[in-house]
Amino acid sequence: MRGFRALRKGVPAILLFALVGAACAKTSNSALSGEQSPTASSSGGRTGGYGTGSRYGGGGSSSTTPPVAANTVEQGAGGLVFAPATLTVSEGTIITVMNVGSATHTFTVSNTSIDVVNAIGQSQNVTINLKPGTYPFICRFHVGLGMKGTLVVTG
């Protein structure tokens, strides 16, 4: 009988730890997303997995992970990063910006009008109508954590 009473006393503690763990997980995801809501509409979507390994070396296997299409920038692939971190395109090229991460991200090209917000799993096409040159791009929500890259536009 004593064993049953001891077990009965331990169950609330186990439930308490489970609830605290779930609350902490939810809080950290909200904190990463910056509590921002998407403001741009999607011109397409991505369903399925959100990617767990880099498609640009390291991480995933080429036999199970399809290659990313040319002129595609992934947000959150393997963390708070863009993949590729440097993208070279011709003036007038349409690129796809795809959020494969677990938080909302932006694709913001500094000193231009390019600023799109992608919710988790969302993707958008962006026309690069910029003069030839080198342009930094960032995620406004995570730039302080190193989420940035370089866009090279050729003539």
Would you state the pLDDT for residue 70? 82
Inform me whether the pLDDT recorded for 51 exceeds 60.
no
Q: Where are the domains of the chain?
A: 1-33, 44-154
Q: What is the mean pLDDT of the chain?
A: 72
pLDDT single digits (tens) 119-152: 999 999 999 999 999 999 999 999 999 999 999 9
Whole-angstrom distance between the N-terminal and C-terminal Cα of the chain?
A: 82
Q: Parallel, antiparallel, or unpaired: how do β-strands 94-99 and 72-75 relate?
A: parallel
pLDDT at 14 over 70: no
What does the pLDDT average to over 21-39? 36
Q: Does domain 44-154 have CATH number 2.60.40.420?
A: yes
Res 20: pLDDT: 37
Distance from C-alpha of 113 to C-alpha of 93, rounded to nearest angstrom: 16
**Residues of the chain above pLDDT 90, percent:** 53
Over range 60-82, report the average pLDDT.
73
How confident is residue 118, by pLDDT bands cut at 50, 70 and 90? Answer: very high
At 95, list the tokens. 């690129």
Q: Cβ contacts of residue 82 below 8 Å, gap of 6+?
A: 73, 74, 75, 107, 137, 139, 147, 148, 149
pLDDT at 9: 56
The residue that leads in pLDDT, 151 or 59, is: 151
Residues contacting residue 36 through CB under 8 Å, at least 6 positions apart: 104, 117, 141
Structure tokens at 108: 């913001």
Q: How far apart are CA 108 and CA 104, in angstroms?
A: 13
Q: 27: closest CA among 103, 120, 100?
A: 103
Per-residue confidence band for 2, with pLDDT thresholds at 50, 70 and 90: low
Average pLDDT (50-65) is 37
pLDDT of residue 18: 42
